Amino acid sequence: MEVNGTGQPSPTSSGQEKTSLSSLTENFDNFLLLLTQQLKHQDPLSPLDTNQFTEQLVQFAGVEQSISTNNKLDQLIAFNSNNQAISALAFLNTTVEVDSDQIWLAEGGESEILYGLPQDAAETTITILDASGKPVRVESGSTTVGEHSFVWDGTDNDGVALPEGVYSIQITAVDSKGESVEVGTGTVGTVEGVQMRNGQLMLTIGDLEVPANSVLGVRNKSDA
C-alpha cells in the first residue's frame, strides 16, 4: 500500500512560483540599491524633492509587502494541501463509490459498475472495453429511471476470464423515440492509496486512479 500525500504544490507550479518570487525579490533589492545610491550621491545644494522621495518610499514599501504576501500565500497553499492530504487518508481501506468511466478488475475478481438514468429508457447497453479500446463484454442494462449497478464477473462475451487491469465502460441508452438518454457512470472499489499528482489529490483503486473529489459515497463494510 502506497501513501504519498505530500501536500506539496506540483513541480511545475512550484517552479513558476519560485521564479516569480525570485524576480520580485531581485527587483526589490535593485530598488533598494538604487534608492540608497541616489541618497548617497544627491547634490547637497539640490536635495531630492520631498514628494518624489515620499513616492519612492511608498513604492519601496509596496514591493516589500508584495514579497511578504507571496510568502504567506505559499505557506497557506502548502498548509491547505497538507490538510487535504491528511483528510484524504481517511479513505484508505474503505469501499467508495466514485464517478468514473473506468473500472478496476483484480485478478480472478469482479468489478461493480454504477450507472444512473434521468428518465426511463427503451434500451440500455453496457459495453466494457479493454486498454486498446476493444469491446470485450456487452450486456443489456436496466431501463427504468434511477440508480443501477451491474456486477461484471471479469469474463468476455465467450465466458473467458480476462486479465486484471483498468477497463473502460460505455453505457448508452435511448428512449422510445430512439433519442439518446444521458447516462452517468461510476464504479465501486477499495481505496489502497492516496497521493498528490499535479496538485490534485488522487485515490488509487488497484491500478485505477480517481480524483478524491469524484467520490460519490462511502459504503459500510456490511454493504461492500
Which cell goes with 161? 476470464
- Which amino acid does the sequence have at 174? V
Q: Is the model more confident about 136 or about 20? A: 136
Same domain, 44 and 124: no
pLDDT at 10 over 50: no
Same domain, 18 and 83: yes
Per residue in 180-189, pLDDT tens? 999 999 999 9
Per residue in 68-110, pLDDT tens? 666 656 555 454 555 656 666 778 889 999 999 999 999 989 9
- Which CA distances in Å does 190 have to 7, 69, 92, 168, 194? 22, 41, 8, 18, 12
Same domain, 16 and 68: yes
Listed range (6-15, 31-40, 78-87, 139-148) with the worst mean pLDDT: 6-15
Q: The domain spanning residue 143 has which CATH number?
A: 2.60.40.4070
pLDDT at 50 over 60: no
Which domain does 13 fall in, by range?
3-91
- Domain annotation covers residue 145: yes
Same domain, 84 and 102: no
- Are 195 and 3 within 8 A, CB to CB? yes
Same domain, 170 and 152: yes
Same domain, 81 and 99: no
pLDDT at 199: 77
The structural domain count of the chain equals: 2
pLDDT at 179 over 90: yes
User: Under 8 Å CB-to-CB from 25, ≥6 apart: which residues?
Assistant: 67
- Domain annotation covers residue 147: yes
